[in-house]
């Protein structure tokens, strides 16, 4: 019963959230959520730092991903301390990569790339678990099944990346090609279901001048595919099929990362195959290699009742809150847009 309830909740959450985001987030009012005065200018106005919906949505999607991972790992008896240790080490490796890989690939110091962070996290995760088992497995937490951890994290990633595409819609990044530049089949498919972004400060406007244009809703396609993949892989996981769950979640998401760039219009480097496509291609055989290197060693079927119980602990709740805040502060402070603020007194209210 708990296993079915878990899948049902994920399906409803994904459907409701994506439906709302697709309809609302392309609008101009869904880029900046708040502005904080930073310092006073020479003319009496204040320069402000913009806090973005991109940061809020990305942090929230990451929170959902962590909740999914913790529930899945808890369902197979992974101790809370082991979850926190592995998750912390993974974030330390992957989060900084979101910025420095974007700098290496695109030559920009003030942007981020989810693809780069995913690549680094994917490559390092199995070895983080191996190191954990070597140093802490026999004395602190017990040895972890590498394949079960890989499957759980890949499923969490599918949901986090799927819901996180709403952040791209709000900021106007990772956008698709104009429909007028696509072939007849693509134009026919997306004739009624496309995006039109509004707002001069959205990336699609200042980088490509495509605000107000009908474009391929590539973010929506990715979100739907990833969340559906996450549901299928989670169902396999909850039947004890860890290798199948890992293969489905990892291969589908990384293969689509390669293919989807055919319909993207944002700058991905000057080569025929972008660096991010190369990363996705490299992860496909790497996934198969990991299944061969780390066969599943967990007997029985996961119990999601134990997974739900693993969340109800002060350390887990605090870690999730700190993770959300860290992600928001790292990704939610816009370094590309700015603001000028002025303050005054309502004289008629004195």
Tally Cβ neighbours within 10 Å of residue 255: 15
User: Whole-angstrom Cα distance, residue 144 to residue 78?
Assistant: 7
Confidence at residue 106, expressed as pLDDT on a 0 to 100 scale: 67
Contact 49, 35 (CB under 8 A): yes
Task: Mark the ranges of the chain whose per-residue pLDDT is less than 50.
Answer: none
Confidence at residue 38, expressed as pLDDT on a 0 to 100 scale: 86
Confidence at residue 301, expressed as pLDDT on a 0 to 100 scale: 79
Q: Name the pairing type of β-strands 339-341 and 214-215.
A: unpaired
Side-chain-side CA neighbours of residue 137 (13 Å) = 11
Burial 304-324 (b: 16+ CB within 10 A, else e): bebbbebbeeeebeebbeebb
- Taking the CA atoms of 54, 173, 219 and 161 in sequence, report the sign of the dihedral they define: negative
Confidence at residue 81, expressed as pLDDT on a 0 to 100 scale: 86
Confidence at residue 310, expressed as pLDDT on a 0 to 100 scale: 87
DSSP alpha helix (H) spans, the chain:
2-24, 53-75, 80-94, 97-106, 114-132, 146-171, 184-189, 203-208, 218-238, 242-259, 275-293, 304-309, 314-331
Contact 169, 255 (CB under 8 A): no
User: Whole-angstrom Cα distance, residue 283 to residue 278?
Assistant: 9
Cα 64 to chain centroid distance, Å, stands at 10
Single pTM value for the model: 0.90
């Amino acid at each position: 019963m708990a296993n079915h309830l878990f899948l049902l909740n994920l399906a409803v959450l994904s459907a409701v959230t994506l439906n709302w985001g697709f309809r609302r987030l392309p609008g101009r009012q869904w880029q900046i959520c708040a502005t904080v005065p930073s310092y006073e200018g020479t003319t009496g106005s204040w320069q402000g730092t913009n806090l973005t919906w991109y940061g809020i949505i990305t942090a929230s999607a990451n929170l959902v991903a962590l909740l999914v991972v913790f529930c899945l790992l808890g369902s197979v008896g992974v101790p809370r301390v082991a979850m926190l240790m592995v998750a912390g080490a993974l974030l330390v490796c992957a989060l900084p990569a979101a910025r420095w890989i974007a700098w290496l690939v695109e030559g920009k110091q003030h942007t981020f790339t989810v693809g780069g962070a995913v690549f680094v996290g994917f490559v390092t995760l199995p070895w983080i678990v191996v190191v954990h088992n070597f140093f802490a497995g026999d004395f602190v937490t017990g040895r972890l099944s590498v394949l079960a951890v890989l499957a759980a994290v890949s499923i969490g990633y599918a949901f986090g990346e799927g819901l996180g595409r709403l952040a791209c819609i709000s900021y106007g990044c990772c956008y698709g090609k104009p429909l007028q530049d696509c072939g007849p089949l693509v134009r026919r498919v997306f004739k009624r279901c496309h995006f039109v972004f509004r707002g001069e400060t959205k990336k699609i406007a200042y980088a490509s001048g495509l605000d107000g244009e009908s474009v391929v809703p590539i973010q929506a396609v990715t979100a739907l595919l990833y969340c559906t993949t996450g549901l299928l892989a989670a169902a396999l996981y909850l039947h004890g099929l860890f290798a199948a769950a890992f293969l489905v979640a990892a291969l589908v998401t990384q293969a689509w990362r390669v293919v989807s760039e055919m319909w993207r219009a944002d700058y991905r480097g000057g080569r025929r195959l972008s660096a991010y496509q190369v990363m996705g291609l490299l992860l496909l055989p790497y996934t198969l290699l990991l299944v061969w290197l780390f066969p599943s060693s967990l007997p029985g079927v996961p119990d999601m009742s134990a997974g739900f119980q693993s969340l109800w602990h002060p350390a887990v709740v605090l870690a999730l809150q700190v993770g959300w805040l860290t992600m928001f502060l790292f990704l939610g402070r816009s370094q590309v847009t700015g603001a000028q603020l002025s303050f005054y007194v309502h004289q008629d209210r004195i």
